[in-house]
Chains A and B, each alone.
Chain A
Amino acid sequence: MSQTGLQIDDLRVSVAETEILRGIDLTVERGRVHALMGPNGSGKSTLAFAMTGHPNYTVTGGSVTLDGEELLGLSPDKRAKAGLFLSFQYPAAIPGVTVANFLRSARQSVRGGDLTPAKFRQLVFEKLDLLNMDTAFLGRYVNDGFSGGEKKRLEMLQLAILAPKYAVLDETDSGLDVDALAAVGTSLRALRESDDGKNTGFLIITHYPRILQHVPADVVHVMMEGRIVKSGGPELANEIEREGYDKIREEVLGGVG
Chain B
Amino acid sequence: MASVSPTLPIGASRETLDATLARSGEGAISRAARYAALEEFASLAPPRAPQGRFWRYDYAKLDFAQLKPSVPSVALRGETQRGVTAVPFSNAAAQGGEAFANAFRTVFGPLDTRFAALAFAFQNTGTFIHVAAGSVVDDPIVVRYEVAEGDAFPYTLVSLGEGARATVVEEFTGPSQGVICGITEIVLDARASLHYAGVQQSSSQSHVFFTRRTRCGAGSSLHVALAELGSALTYTTLHAALAQPDANVEITSLFFNTGDQHIDLTSGVDHLIGPTHSQTVVKSVATGRGQGRYLGNIAIRPGAHGAEASLRDDALLLSKEAHIDSIPALEIASNDVKAFHGATVGSIDEEELFYVTSRGIARGEAERMIALGFFEPALERFPGEALRARIRAALESKLE
B-binding residues in A (CB < 8 A)? 52-55, 75-77, 79-81, 85-86, 88, 91-97, 101-102, 105-106, 109-110, 141, 158, 162
Q: A92-B349, A109-B365 are in contact. Are A76 and B377 (CB under 8 A)?
A: no
Query: Which partner residue on chain A sits nearest B377 by CB separation?
Result: A96
Q: A75-B363, A77-B363, A92-B349 are in contact. Are A52 and B358 (CB under 8 A)?
A: yes
Interface check B400, CB cutoff 8 A: no
Contact mask for chain B residues 226-247; partner A; CB cutoff 8 A; 1 contact, 0 none? 0000000000000000000000
**Partner of B355 from A55, A92, A110, A162 at Cβ < 8 Å:** A92
Contacts of A75 in B (CB 8 A): 357, 362-363
Give the B interface residue count (CB, 8 A).
24
**Partner of B354 from A76, A102, A110 at Cβ < 8 Å:** A76
Contacts of B210 in A (CB 8 A): none
25 CB contacts below 8 A, A to B, read A55-B350, A75-B357, A75-B363, A77-B357, A77-B359, A80-B359, A80-B360, A85-B358, A88-B358, A92-B352, A92-B354, A92-B355, A92-B356, A94-B355, A96-B374, A96-B375, A96-B377, A97-B376, A101-B369, A105-B365, A109-B359, A110-B360, A141-B373, A158-B359, A162-B359
The 7 closest A-B pairs by CB, nearest first: A96-B373, A96-B376, A80-B360, A110-B360, A109-B360, A106-B359, A92-B355
Within the complex, the shortest CB–CB distance from A209 to chain B, in Å, comes to 27
Q: A77-B360, A106-B359 are in contact. Are A54 and B372 (CB under 8 A)?
A: no
Q: A94-B369, A97-B369, A105-B365 are in contact. Are A76 and B357 (CB under 8 A)?
A: yes
In contact, B358 and A86 (Cβ under 8 angstroms): yes
In contact, A76 and B358 (Cβ under 8 angstroms): yes
Complex alpha-carbon distance, A97 and B377, angstroms: 10
A-binding residues in B (CB < 8 A)? 349-352, 354-363, 365-366, 369-370, 372-377
Within the complex, the shortest CB–CB distance from B28 to chain A, in Å, comes to 42
Contacts of A52 in B (CB 8 A): 358
In contact, B362 and A109 (Cβ under 8 angstroms): yes
Complex alpha-carbon distance, A96 and B352, angstroms: 12
Contacts of B372 in A (CB 8 A): 96-97
Complex alpha-carbon distance, A76 and B358, angstroms: 5
Complex alpha-carbon distance, A80 and B359, angstroms: 6
In contact, B349 and A162 (Cβ under 8 angstroms): no
Complex alpha-carbon distance, A77 and B358, angstroms: 5
Complex alpha-carbon distance, A76 and B350, angstroms: 12
